[in-house]
């Protein structure tokens, strides 16, 4: 499992707006990767809107925001348009990033067990070192906590 102080796993992922995003293209800048279960669901929508609302503050710190789910690029585009999102949305259809970051986990809803994406956020510094991890994220107040941590980089 990925821990604070480790290098973020190497990645190269398609996005719905900026072509591909990778740890190489982000090198030299701090960034946030947040994993969420599914586009256009209540919690995921609130989280994406929260990051969009504070994007200018993250931009002032030169921190890029990348939201990742297993949804397709077409679904990401609809999600972005519907909610006027202004963050990078990357598609992890094969689940490789979810596995690499340890967020593909067994979940339990109403007694039914299934595999899914754990809502989690990772803050990396300009060298790609993981500085802060939030697992089992509760959406309320989360984006503010991420911004506060980003301010310490």
Alpha-carbon gap, residue 148 to 48, rounded angstroms: 17
Q: How far is CA 58 from CA 4, 11, 49, 144, in A?
A: 20, 22, 14, 11
Residue pair 7/124 in contact (Cβ under 8 Å)? The answer is no
Tokens coding 89: 């949305």
Alpha-carbon gap, residue 7 to 5, rounded angstroms: 7
Alpha-carbon gap, residue 100 to 90, rounded angstroms: 15
Catalytic residue among 21, 32, 44, 147: 44
Catalytic: 44?
yes
Active site residues: 44
């Amino acid at each position: 499992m990925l821990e604070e102080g480790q290098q973020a796993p190497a990645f190269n992922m398609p996005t719905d707006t900026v072509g591909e995003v990778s740890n190489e293209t982000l090198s030299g800048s701090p960034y946030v990767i947040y994993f969420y279960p599914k586009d256009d669901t209540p919690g995921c929508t609130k989280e994406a809107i929260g990051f969009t609302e504070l994007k200018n503050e993250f931009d002032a710190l030169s921190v890029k925001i990348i939201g990742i789910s297993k949804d397709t690029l077409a679904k990401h585009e609809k999600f972005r348009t519907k909610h006027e999102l202004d963050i990078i949305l990357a598609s992890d259809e094969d689940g490789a990033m979810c596995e690499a970051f340890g967020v593909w986990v067994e979940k339990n809803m109403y007694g039914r067990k299934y595999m899914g994406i754990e809502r989690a956020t990772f803050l990396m510094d300009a060298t790609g070192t993981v500085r802060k991890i939030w697992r089992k994220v509760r959406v309320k107040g989360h984006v503010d906590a991420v911004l506060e941590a980003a301010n310490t980089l």
